Amino acid sequence: MKSNVPAPLSSSSYHPPRFLRTGHSQTIFPSIFRIIHGVSYQRERIETDDDDFLDLDWLKCSPRSRSLVVLCHGLEGNSSRTYMRGMARAANQERMDALAWNYRSCSETMNRQLRFYHNGATDDLQRVLQHADRTGEYSRIVLIGFSLGGNLILNYLARHRDHLPHGLTDAVLFSVPLHLASSADALARPSNRIYMKRFLKDLKKKIVAREKQFPGRISSSGYHEIQSFRQFDDRYTAPIHGFKDAEDYWQQCSGLYALPRIPLPTLIVNAKNDPFLCPESFPDEKNIRNPLVTLLTPTNGGHCGFPRFHHKGRYWSEDIAFLFLQRPPAQ
């Protein structure tokens, strides 16, 4: 599809290290071996209007910046994931403050309410942005999201397009499962069993914790029978958050359907060898139907990976994000 970004922002500009040739290796290597130095968050807890809380982690420049990057993590992630810390550090290197927020149940303390997070939980992102906006410190705010966080941002921008915070200018999203049903099917493949088992293991800990908090309202009984996201979302995500079933949840919260309504410049970067994605997450211009949305599809990158060895310790995803955010105005 035709791109509305400068030539340096091209899918062909990413070349993985020679020893990382597959989507799996490009996905796994950064999460295990990458070390991010120089990131010491300052934690802030904000109360929500439904008697709960959100934990926000700030990384601020010195001297202070008037620009803020708000970072949204992926499924079962948090602010400490290497892709979050790497992007926060890159933001500071570009003289921008960073705010990496943790979804409900994703910080060290379990939340008070039964609800979790999900691809369409835009109310919490709205709370975070309103909180940042009310500080009065920022004239520009941008969003950067990874995986589930990318879907969350797309849904937020489409649903709240008439009530966005003043100063919100751009969004950059990586490894976005734009079509949730097909991505759920992709993760159910035998080749992705390692990821599925890890996700379900981490989610079980939260289900067990919630069961202790809310006896009779949620149960872990028979959890061992769950082998896929279809089963998990049917049993937990959908009923807890007001959806009829997994299919209803996926249909309402797939970012693909939000693309025509995105009101500000948005870059989506989905690698063709991402093991979590299916063809539906690579829409063409006809399906996007929005000149403000640009999709880059590099051959390599994996899922939230894009590893590269660089003198600043920055990955390709970090450089491409700020190239987009600092692009010259459209003529």
pLDDT of residue 2: 43
Low-confidence residues in the chain, pLDDT < 70: 1-12, 311, 329-331
What are the structural domains of the chain? 11-179+259-324 (3.40.50.1820), 189-253 (no CATH)
Task: Give the model's pLDDT for residue 7.
Answer: 54
pLDDT for residue 279: 96
Could you tell me the pTM of the whole model?
A: 0.95
- Can you tell me which residue has the tokens 């939340």? 111
pLDDT in tens, 51-89: 999 999 999 998 889 999 999 999 999 999 999 999 999
pLDDT of amino acid 63: 85
